[in-house]
Amino acid sequence: MLMRWIAVPALLMAMTGLAQAECPELLQGSLQKLRAKESIDLCQRFKGKPLVVVNTASHCGFAPQFKSLEALNQRFKGEGLEVIGVPSNDFKQESKDAAETAKVCYVNYGVTFTMTEPQAVRGDDATHLFKILAAQSSAPKWNFYKYVVDRKGQVIANFSSLTKPDDPEFIAAVQQALASQP
């Protein structure tokens, strides 16, 4: 009987480790959702899904891209695409007030895709997600740097801030991600 009490926790720990191992490195960890108590378990929420990950900033001249990112989200979400916006003040253009960031995203631009609390996206302080994105391609060079990730958690393309979300090359990369196998 005692062995059963010891074996069950050990089995549960092994299963948890196995589940973590099955998760792509890119999606290991969690991020706080913007202006919510909810924490997003990246693996649980996004494993096996094609992604567009973009670092954002409310006071950036590229902020109008929120509108076309939302259009992209609406166009492809039925096919499984997930868009993740990660506000960052790494380039000194994000509000220090998360309520203001949320207002810009949700009220001014009508964003419905996942937005996180502001995170570091460059250097040693970068959140794990962006460390892996950088390792697989390159670190963001400015706000609204975009990554297209396949269903296995691999970056298949990255795009500068100058590339708009309706650019044909960007759309082609999104379609490639949608066509990828988990």
| pLDDT tens, position by position, 53-71 | 999 999 999 999 999 999 9
Give dist(CA 54, CA 40) in Å, integer: 16
Tell the CATH superfamily of the 24-179 domain.
Glutaredoxin (3.40.30.10)
Could you confirm whether 105 is annotated as catalytic?
no
Residue type, 12: L
Query: What one-character DSSP code corresponds to residue 86?
Result: E
Selected catalytic residue, list 23, 43, 60, 105: 60
Give dist(CA 123, CA 142) in Å, integer: 13
**pLDDT given at position 1:** 52
**Is the predicted pLDDT of residue 17 greater than 60, yes or no?**
no
Average pLDDT, integer, range 4-18: 48
- CB of 51 closer than 8 Å to CB of 180: no
Average pLDDT, integer, range 121-135: 97
The domain locations on the chain are: 24-179
Average pLDDT, integer, range 46-57: 98
